[in-house]
Structure 1
Amino acid sequence: MQFSKYYISAVASFVLWGFFSLVLKQLHGYASLDILFYRVFMCAVIMSVISLFVRRRVLRENVEMYKKLPSSVRQRMLLLTFSGGVLLTANWFFFIYVMNNVSVKAASFAYLVCPVMTTVIAFFVLHEKLSKWQWVAVGLSVLSCLLLSFNNIADIAYSLIVAASYAFYLVSQRRNAGFDKFLVLTFQLIFSALILLPFYPSYAASVPTEGVFYGLILVTAVLFTIVPLFLNLYALNGVNSSTMGILLYINPLINFTIALLYFHEPINQYQIVAYSLIIISILVFNEQYLFGRKRSVVVR
């Protein structure tokens, strides 16, 4: 069983995100927009400092590379980079809102829908190929989502918005190749900060004075934003969007376990069956990695 460094990076990023609720729930006393503002602003500052002073040579090399590209390629790269910033901003806001104002399980459900959406979008937009076993895994995933939607109709709209924003982000960044991923992420976070900055004076509450708030925001910015996002973008160099989508199930599985065992949220028989199907779908989708089998590819 051999796993590439890109595959390991993808798994590591989703494992990290699976524990995000432990920190985010401690910020439930603050407005969702405030958490988003300070998270993005802090990320943008940290990434800018690193890119300008620590990775100056990489920045210079990528600027020179950009100048040599045809104008059409430059425009496409800018569109993909900045649209990624918009999608990230939307994803973070809705995720924070759902986590702190609806439920941890509703936020988890969003990332249960997201893998299916990512896989299907990648199939039609990027023409990524799937084996028969991988289509079986997608079918199991759809079934699990249908089971989880029972008695949770009110949460589905929120979940779909969160899921769609990140699914389109993953698919779009698969095409955004050729430049340093850390630098791409830096520009996306700066752009995200610029989007939010005009709204800060009107929609932000009073400036928090508690040191614990800034400590938790720092942990959120570094451990649950910069590191997993960079691992995500790095993984896309060697892992296709469909596989990234299915591996995304690691996040809600950990999240669901925390919601059940730590936050003691109630569970029903549909959820038990659905999450069991999700575990099976992950194993089936990645059977070529787990068992070393050759893929029988479905050509589109």
Structure 2
Amino acid sequence: MKFSKYYLSAFVSFVIWGFFSLALKPLKDYPSLDILFYRVFFCAVIMSVTSLFIRRKVLADNIRIFKQMPAMQRKTVTALTLSGGVLLTANWFFFIYVMNHISVKAASFAYLVCPIMTTVIAFFVLNEKLSKWQWTAVSMSVASCILLSFNNIADIAYSLIVAASYAFYLVSQRKNTGMDKFLVLTVQILFSALILLPFYPVYSAGIPTEFSFYALIAVIAVVFTIIPLYMNLYALQGVTSSTMGILLYINPLMNFVTALFYFHEPINFIQIVAYSIILISIVVFNERFIFGRKRAVLV
């Protein structure tokens, strides 16, 4: 695979996310919705201030570009941007809930399945082709899901929801072109904040008083949200959804190792077999990339 700034951006973003549980797990005593509320609100404030005062020229240029777009393109950009905000909100809530109230392994499994789901969705939506090896890997991934679901069907259901929400986000944003990516992300997070704001007075457990809560939320907002998400959107300008899938495996593998060796979560034989199948499917799915074989040219 040719190395470029886009690959580097994707790689670093998933490495950062691999350490997310270290900042999120200490907040397990707080309700998932409160963590989501403050994460989104902190991000919205930080990114709004950045766009309005630090990147004013970029903002003005992109407003002009948006106004000059054909009406259909403006509608497409608006729809993809706002739907991306909805998908991010759903993904964040379910990920926080699974990480803190189900298990780190379940959250890890979500992002083992996500690359496969991303590629399958991209096959139908973006017409990205899959080889026989890749379809074999998809089948193996499905088999592992079935195996894991025997005794943990609720866990797997949550994992699949987390995976699907981010897979649809990646595929949709691959088609969202023409605007500055940081500004697109700013609009998405502002839209997410507007979605959540009416629910805050009703569903918030109260204003936290501990300084550690706000410190960890600030770290999550900047280090584990704004930076990696922007790098993801930037990377999508130069890599395909399938390539993002290759690099996305960095995140769940690091999460799974963290769950076993840092949080000491138990694992049984069925889980070992299922995760082994997932790892084999990763190799099978990316056999051209791993072994350096060239893709046959389709005429």
- TM norm structure 1: 0.93
Residue matched to 1:206: 206
Distance in 2 (CA, whole Å) between partners of 1:249 and 1:267 is 20
Asked if structure 2 preserves the Cα contact closer than 8 Å seen for 1:118 and 1:245, the reply is yes
What amino acid does structure 1 have at the position aligned with 2:89?
A: T
Asked if structure 2 preserves the Cα contact closer than 8 Å seen for 1:129 and 1:297, the reply is no
1:202-237 CA-to-partner distances (Å, cap 9, x unmatched) read 111221111111100011001110111111111111
Instruction: Please state how far the C-alpha of 1:49 moved relative to its aligned partner.
Output: 1.1
Instruction: Please state how far the C-alpha of 1:116 moved relative to its aligned partner.
Output: 1.9
What amino acid does structure 1 have at the position aligned with 2:88?
A: L
1:227-278 CA-to-partner distances (Å, cap 9, x unmatched) read 1111111111111122323432221111111111011111122332333333
Distance in 2 (CA, whole Å) between partners of 1:125 and 1:101 is 33
Identity, % of aligned pairs? Answer: 75
Residue matched to 1:197: 197
1:23-69 CA-to-partner distances (Å, cap 9, x unmatched) read 11100111111000000000011111111111111111111110101
Instruction: Please state how far the C-alpha of 1:110 moved relative to its aligned partner.
Output: 1.9
1:113-170 CA-to-partner distances (Å, cap 9, x unmatched) read 2222211110011101233443343334333333333321121221222111111111
Could you tell me which runs of 5 or more consecutive residues in structure 2 were left unpaired when the two chains were aligned: none
Asked if structure 2 preserves the Cα contact closer than 8 Å seen for 1:95 and 1:162, the reply is yes
Residue matched to 2:126: 126
Q: Which segment is superposed worse, 201-210 or 241-250? A: 241-250
Distance in 1 (CA, whole Å) between partners of 2:3 and 2:276 is 24
Residue matched to 2:47: 47
Distance in 2 (CA, whole Å) between partners of 1:286 and 1:239 is 15
Does residue 135 in structure 1 map to residue 135 in structure 2? yes
Classify the secondary structure of the residue corresponding to 1:237: coil
Residue matched to 2:145: 145
Count the aligned residue pairs.
299
Classify the secondary structure of the residue corresponding to 2:151: coil
Residue matched to 1:184: 184
Asked if structure 2 preserves the Cα contact closer than 8 Å seen for 1:130 and 1:298, the reply is no
Does residue 63 in structure 1 map to residue 42 in structure 2? no
Does residue 266 in structure 1 map to residue 266 in structure 2? yes
Classify the secondary structure of the residue corresponding to 1:150: helix
Asked if structure 2 preserves the Cα contact closer than 8 Å seen for 1:52 and 1:59, the reply is yes
* CA separation of 1:137 and 1:239: change in aligned 2, threshold 3 A: farther
Instruction: Please state how far the C-alpha of 1:280 moved relative to its aligned partner.
Output: 3.6
Distance in 2 (CA, whole Å) between partners of 1:101 and 1:196 is 21
Distance in 1 (CA, whole Å) between partners of 2:34 and 2:110 is 22
Residue matched to 2:295: 295
Distance in 2 (CA, whole Å) between partners of 1:61 and 1:281 is 45
Asked if structure 1 preserves the Cα contact closer than 8 Å seen for 2:148 and 2:156, the reply is no
Distance in 2 (CA, whole Å) between partners of 1:210 and 1:198 is 24
Residue matched to 1:8: 8
Aligned-residue CA RMSD (Å): 1.9
Q: Which segment is superposed worse, 180-189 or 154-163? A: 154-163
Instruction: Please state how far the C-alpha of 1:291 moved relative to its aligned partner.
Output: 4.1
Residue matched to 2:163: 163
Distance in 2 (CA, whole Å) between partners of 1:123 and 1:179 is 25
Q: Which segment is superposed worse, 254-263 or 14-23? A: 14-23
Asked if structure 1 preserves the Cα contact closer than 8 Å seen for 2:109 and 2:159, the reply is yes
What amino acid does structure 2 have at the position aligned with 1:268?
A: N
Residue matched to 2:38: 38
Residue matched to 1:244: 244
Distance in 1 (CA, whole Å) between partners of 2:144 and 2:298 is 23
